[in-house]
Structure 1
Amino acid sequence: MGTSPDPLFVLRGSDGPINTLQFCSGSSTEPFILSGCGNGLVQLWNLQTRRLQSTVEVHDGNGILWANMIDNGKFISQGRDCRIKCWDLSKGHCDVISTFSYDAAGFCQCTFSKKANMLAVPGKEPSVVDIYKFETAEKISSLVPIEGARALGMVMRMKFVSSSEDRPCLLAGYEDGSIALWDISMVKILNRVKVHNESVMGLDYSISQRRGVSGSADDKLSSWFVNEAMEIKCETKLTLTNAGISDVNIRDDDRILATAGWDSRIRIFSFKKLKPLAVLCYHRDTVHCLAFSTLQGYPGLLAAGSKDKHISFWSIYNDL
Structure 2
Amino acid sequence: MTQDPDPFGVLRGHVASVNAVQFLTPTALLSGSGDGVVKLWDVSKRREISGNTAHSKAGVLQIARISPCHFVTQGRDGFVRLWDTTRFSDQANPISSYYCGSFSFTKCATMRSKSQAEAEFTQLVACPGSDFQEILVYDLRAGSTSPAIKMKIHGQARGMCMSLCIIQPSSRIANCTISKQYIVVGDEGGDIEIMDMRYGQYSLSKTEISTEKNPVLAMDIVSKASRIICGTSEQAIIGAELDWDAPKFKCTSEIFRCNYGGIASISVRPDERIFATTGWDRRTRIFHAQKLRPLAILKYHSDSVFDAAFSPDSKLLATGSKDKKIALWSIYQPD
When normalised by structure 2's length, the TM-score is 0.87
Deviation of 1:2 (Å):
5.8
Alignment correspondent of 1:171: 184
Matches of 1:91 and 1:22, distance apart in 2: 18
Where does structure 1 differ by over 4 angstroms across 4 or more consecutive aligned residues?
Answer: none
Instruction: List runs of 5+ in structure 1 lacking aligned partners.
Output: none
Choose which of 162, 166, 170 in structure 1 pairs with 2:168.
Answer: 162
- Does the aligned pair in 2 maintain the 1:11–1:51 contact within 8 Å? yes
Alignment of 1:128-277 (within 5 A): 128-134=134-140, 135=142, 136-147=144-155, 150-162=156-168, 166-187=179-200, 188-196=202-210, 197=212, 198-227=214-243, 228-243=245-260, 244-277=262-295
Pair 1:286-2:301 in alignment: no
Matches of 1:145 and 1:34, distance apart in 2: 32
Deviation of 1:165 (Å):
5.2
- Does the aligned pair in 2 maintain the 1:115–1:165 contact within 8 Å? no
Distance 1:31 1:72, change over 3 A: same
User: Deviation digits for residues 127-168 of structure 1, max 9, x if unmatched?
Assistant: 221222223223233222232xx4321211111101655221
Pair 1:115-2:113 in alignment: no
Distance 1:9 1:118, change over 3 A: same
Matches of 1:77 and 1:65, distance apart in 2: 8
User: Deviation digits for residues 275-318 of structure 1, max 9, x if unmatched?
Assistant: 111111110100000101114xxx33111100001111111111
Alignment of 1:29-108 (within 5 A): 31-91=27-87, 93=89, 94-104=92-102, 106-108=104-106
> What SS does structure 2 have at the residue aligned with 1:21?
strand
Q: Which amino acid aligns with 1:265?
A: R
Instruction: List runs of 5+ in structure 2 lacking aligned partners.
Output: 112-118, 170-176
Distance 1:165 1:115, change over 3 A: farther
- How many equivalent pairs are there? 311
- Does the aligned pair in 2 maintain the 1:72–1:90 contact within 8 Å? no
Distance 1:140 1:92, change over 3 A: closer
- Does the aligned pair in 1 maintain the 2:100–2:136 contact within 8 Å? no
User: Deviation digits for residues 168-202 of structure 1, max 9, x if unmatched?
Assistant: 11111111111111111122111111112311111
> What SS does structure 1 have at the residue aligned with 2:157?
coil
Matches of 1:250 and 1:112, distance apart in 2: 14
Deviation of 1:106 (Å):
1.8
Deviation of 1:62 (Å):
2.9
Deviation of 1:13 (Å):
1.9
Pair 1:22-2:22 in alignment: yes
- Does the aligned pair in 2 maintain the 1:36–1:64 contact within 8 Å? yes
RMSD: 2.0
When normalised by structure 1's length, the TM-score is 0.91
* Percent identity (aligned): 32
Deviation of 1:217 (Å):
0.8
Q: Which amino acid aligns with 1:99?
A: S
